[in-house]
Amino acid sequence: MPHRTRIKICGLTREGDVDAAVRAGADAIGFVLYPQSPRFVSPERAGELARRLPPFVTPVLLFVNASPEFIVQGVAAVPNALLQFHGDETPADCAAGGRPFVRAARIPPGPAGAGFDLLKYASDFTAAQAILLDAHVEGYGGGGQSFDWNAFPWSHPQLNASSRLVLSGGLTPANVTDGIRLVRPWAVDVSSGVEVSKGIKDPDKMLAFVAAVSAADAQTSRPS
């Protein structure tokens, strides 16, 4: 059964980039509602950008240790958003709003993920729609760095496609094929690797990234 790896492009700040990401084939568009990020957009701005999305392209609102009130502002601006928690939020924090969410795991650099217990992490966040695997970077995310992809037993029953793993962290058009071959994630997520500068996306790099994902899917067989 052919599998299509879903694609999230994150950190959009401009109308033209949102339109180009959709044209390129993104399945989800991430808006960073973390004020300390150079890719920050306000809830109102995220609403303006998200209203450009056609049906079947999911807006994702990304939070880092946000207050419940700020999360409510984001959801009011983008009512159909999927939430992504990328800070130190507990399972209870993530579930508090009663909305579907993705939980980011921030995996330390170095061999074997420096002992990060992904199986336990995934079992702690069973309510998550997906676990996004990012590198642990200064500033919580968007760092353009990869974690050790050989650090985890990807064929483990808890870590196969049914667990909805999202490979993230330092992906580019040049390395995403290798990442898909090894990890066989449900989806991939990219920000720095398709930019000319933080928050400014490159349409050609987005097209190249989507093409590389498609090429990887064509070459990778998966259990149905």
Ligand X SMILES: O=C(O)c1ccccc1NCC(=O)[C@H](O)[C@H](O)COP(=O)(O)O
Q: Is 142 in the site for ligand X (CB under 6 A)?
A: yes
Q: Is the dihedral of CA 28, 42, 103, 127 positive or negative?
A: negative
Q: Is 11 in the site for ligand X (CB under 6 A)?
A: yes
- Smallest distance, ligand X to C-beta of residue 206, A: 12
Do β-strands 200-201 and 195-197 pair in parallel, antiparallel, or remain unpaired?
A: antiparallel
Among 171, 176, 180, 210, binds ligand X (CB under 6 A): 171
- Smallest distance, ligand X to C-beta of residue 66, A: 11
Whether 134 is catalytic: yes
Q: Is 185 in the site for ligand X (CB under 6 A)?
A: no
DSSP 8-state symbol, 38: T
Helices (H), the chain: 15-24, 43-50, 68-77, 91-95, 118-124, 176-183, 203-219
For residue 62, the tally of other CB atoms under 10 A from its CB is 32
DSSP 8-state symbol, 118: H
- Smallest distance, ligand X to C-beta of residue 221, A: 27
- The residues annotated as belonging to the active site are 10, 134
The residue ranges that bind ligand X (CB under 6 A) are 10-11, 30, 32, 34, 37, 39, 62, 64, 86, 134, 139-144, 168-171, 189-193
